[in-house]
Amino acid sequence: MPVVTLHKFGQSFQDEVKPNTNLVVRAGIKQFPYPNLQYECGMGKCAKCAIRVLDGAEHLPPPNWKEKKQLGDRLNEGYRLACQLWIEHDIELQQD
Ligand code: FES
Protein backbone atom coordinates (compact mmCIF):
# COMPACT_ATOMS: atom_id res chain seq x y z
CA MET A 1 0.00 0.00 0.00
CA PRO A 2 1.36 3.45 -0.87
CA VAL A 3 2.47 5.59 2.04
CA VAL A 4 1.67 9.28 1.65
CA THR A 5 3.59 11.89 3.63
CA LEU A 6 2.24 15.42 3.61
CA HIS A 7 4.18 18.34 5.02
CA LYS A 8 2.01 21.30 5.87
CA PHE A 9 1.85 23.99 8.56
CA GLY A 10 5.37 22.94 9.64
CA GLN A 11 4.03 19.52 10.52
CA SER A 12 4.14 16.13 8.85
CA PHE A 13 1.15 13.89 8.34
CA GLN A 14 1.49 10.33 7.12
CA ASP A 15 -0.81 7.43 6.33
CA GLU A 16 -1.22 4.46 4.05
CA VAL A 17 -3.73 4.73 1.23
CA LYS A 18 -5.15 2.23 -1.23
CA PRO A 19 -3.40 2.02 -4.60
CA ASN A 20 -4.90 4.31 -7.24
CA THR A 21 -5.98 6.83 -4.61
CA ASN A 22 -6.83 10.44 -5.32
CA LEU A 23 -6.05 12.58 -2.29
CA VAL A 24 -8.66 15.23 -3.06
CA VAL A 25 -11.37 12.57 -3.34
CA ARG A 26 -10.23 11.14 -0.01
CA ALA A 27 -10.18 14.54 1.67
CA GLY A 28 -13.71 15.08 0.31
CA ILE A 29 -14.93 12.11 2.34
CA LYS A 30 -12.95 13.26 5.36
CA GLN A 31 -10.23 10.66 5.16
CA PHE A 32 -6.50 11.35 5.33
CA PRO A 33 -5.12 13.85 4.36
CA TYR A 34 -8.28 15.64 5.52
CA PRO A 35 -8.31 18.28 7.01
CA ASN A 36 -4.76 19.19 6.06
CA LEU A 37 -5.01 19.24 2.28
CA GLN A 38 -6.06 22.49 0.66
CA TYR A 39 -8.23 22.11 -2.44
CA GLU A 40 -11.39 23.51 -3.95
CA CYS A 41 -12.78 22.46 -7.33
CA GLY A 42 -11.40 18.93 -7.61
CA MET A 43 -11.39 19.33 -11.39
CA GLY A 44 -8.07 20.95 -12.27
CA LYS A 45 -9.56 24.42 -12.59
CA CYS A 46 -8.54 26.37 -9.48
CA ALA A 47 -4.96 25.29 -8.60
CA LYS A 48 -5.84 25.47 -4.88
CA CYS A 49 -4.59 21.89 -4.55
CA ALA A 50 -1.13 22.73 -5.96
CA ILE A 51 1.39 20.63 -4.13
CA ARG A 52 5.13 20.10 -4.44
CA VAL A 53 6.38 16.56 -4.84
CA LEU A 54 9.47 16.09 -2.68
CA ASP A 55 9.92 12.39 -3.33
CA GLY A 56 8.30 9.83 -5.59
CA ALA A 57 7.69 12.06 -8.62
CA GLU A 58 9.29 9.44 -10.86
CA HIS A 59 6.27 7.19 -10.33
CA LEU A 60 3.76 9.80 -11.48
CA PRO A 61 2.53 10.17 -15.04
CA PRO A 62 3.54 13.34 -16.89
CA PRO A 63 1.44 16.43 -16.06
CA ASN A 64 -1.84 16.55 -17.95
CA TRP A 65 -3.11 19.59 -19.85
CA LYS A 66 -4.95 20.97 -16.84
CA GLU A 67 -1.78 20.88 -14.74
CA LYS A 68 0.19 22.53 -17.54
CA LYS A 69 -2.42 25.26 -17.84
CA GLN A 70 -2.76 25.90 -14.09
CA LEU A 71 0.83 25.50 -12.98
CA GLY A 72 2.95 26.72 -15.89
CA ASP A 73 6.53 27.27 -14.68
CA ARG A 74 5.72 25.82 -11.27
CA LEU A 75 5.81 22.40 -12.94
CA ASN A 76 9.58 22.86 -13.21
CA GLU A 77 9.73 23.38 -9.44
CA GLY A 78 8.03 20.04 -8.84
CA TYR A 79 4.47 21.23 -8.37
CA ARG A 80 1.49 19.12 -9.40
CA LEU A 81 -2.26 19.36 -8.89
CA ALA A 82 -3.26 16.88 -6.20
CA CYS A 83 -6.72 16.51 -7.71
CA GLN A 84 -5.18 15.25 -10.95
CA LEU A 85 -2.97 12.60 -9.33
CA TRP A 86 -3.83 8.97 -8.63
CA ILE A 87 -1.31 7.65 -6.17
CA GLU A 88 0.17 4.21 -6.84
CA HIS A 89 3.48 4.42 -4.94
CA ASP A 90 4.96 6.01 -1.86
CA ILE A 91 5.04 9.77 -2.20
CA GLU A 92 6.17 12.76 -0.14
CA LEU A 93 4.40 16.05 -0.67
CA GLN A 94 4.55 19.59 0.60
CA GLN A 95 1.79 22.14 0.37
CA ASP A 96 2.57 25.82 0.96
S1 FES B 1 -8.78 21.31 -6.53
FE2 FES B 1 -8.97 22.82 -8.06
S3 FES B 1 -7.33 22.38 -9.36
FE4 FES B 1 -7.22 20.78 -7.92
Q: From the CA of 80, how far away is ligand 1's center (Å)?
A: 10
Q: From the CA of 18, how far away is ligand 1's center (Å)?
A: 21
Q: What are 24-37's pLDDT values in tens digits?
A: 999 999 999 999 99
The pLDDT value recorded for residue 90 is 98
Q: Where are the domains of the chain?
A: 3-94
The pLDDT value recorded for residue 77 is 98
Instruction: For residue 90, give Cα distances in angstroms to 11, 41, 46, 56, 65.
Output: 18, 25, 26, 6, 24
Q: What are 35-89's pLDDT values in tens digits?
A: 999 999 999 999 999 999 999 999 999 999 999 999 999 999 999 999 999 999 9
Q: What are 2-22's pLDDT values in tens digits?
A: 999 999 999 999 999 999 999
Whether the model pTM is above 0.85: yes
The pLDDT value recorded for residue 17 is 98
The pLDDT value recorded for residue 92 is 98
Closest protein CA for atom 3 of ligand 1: 44
**How far apart are alpha carbons 75 and 61 in whole angstroms?**
13
Q: From the CA of 1, how far away is ligand 1's center (Å)?
A: 25
**3-94 has CATH 1.10.510.10 classification:** no
